[in-house]
Homo-oligomer: A and B are copies of this chain.
Amino acid sequence: MKAITFASTNQSKFYEVESILAAKGIRAEFARLNLVEIQTDSLEQIAIEKARSAYALLQRPIIVEDDGLFVSALFGFPGQYSSYVFKTIGNDGILKLLEGKEDRSASFRSLVAYSDDGSNIHLFEGRVAGTISIKIAQGGWGYDPIFVPEGVSLTFAELKSMKNGYSHRKNALEKFAEWLAKDKI
């Protein structure tokens, strides 16, 4: 079984990544790294820089993942700053900002960046469209309790293990796994 190191500070994210990649025959290891993220309007740039630093530190094939919730009526906010916004104003804040707005559409984007030499970075994107719920659901982490993917009426948090059926992160990781299977083994 091929092994890959997933570098992140977020263990909950790692568990998701691990289960998605295992189903594709890839064993994920966890490296807890607090990688510098740059402030930019582009999720791509953040992922590329993080992959570079992770490789520089670990010197083995790595993936990093970066995702963001982009709310249409808020001009893409919280976007690439989703973790900071979550830690401060949180889901309550997002719901408050959407009070009285008709358009509750949003999308979750995930970018997986892979490198096995530190200079070539390969990017894989996943995206899921949906809406922001009216109330915060129980359970889940991050924005999962307020994001309802298109085609269902439950939030990511309520979908629990079924979440991966819709997830932007799963989508990006599967693209990566397929590319790895085809081009690298």
- A contact residues vs B (CB 8 Å cutoff): 36-40, 46, 74-79, 81, 84-85, 87-89, 93, 96-97, 99
**Quick one: which of B40, B85, B88, B93 contacts A36, CB cutoff 8 A?**
B40
Nearest CB on B from A48, distance (A):
12
A46 contacts across to B, CB distance below 8 A? 39
Q: In this complex, what residue of B is CB-closest to A46?
A: B39
Contact assessment for A81 and B84 in the assembled complex, using a CB-CB cutoff below 8 Å: yes
A39 contacts across to B, CB distance below 8 A? 36-39, 46, 81, 84
**Copies of this protein in the complex:** 2
Q: In this complex, what residue of B is CB-closest to A92?
A: B97
**Quick one: which of B38, B78, B84, B93 contacts A97, CB cutoff 8 A?**
B93
A37 contacts across to B, CB distance below 8 A? 38-39
Nearest CB on B from A33, distance (A):
14
Bound form: Cα–Cα A74–B97 in Å? 13
Contact assessment for A93 and B81 in the assembled complex, using a CB-CB cutoff below 8 Å: no
Nearest CB on B from A134, distance (A):
16
Bound form: Cα–Cα A102–B38 in Å? 34
Given contacts A36-B38, A81-B85, 4 further A-B contacts (CB under 8 A): A39-B84, A79-B84, A81-B81, A97-B97
**Quick one: which of B38, B77, B88 contacts A79, CB cutoff 8 A?**
B88
Nearest CB on B from A10, distance (A):
14
Nearest CB on B from A144, distance (A):
20
Sampled A-B contacts (8; CB under 8 Å): A36-B38, A38-B38, A39-B84, A75-B88, A78-B88, A79-B88, A81-B81, A93-B97
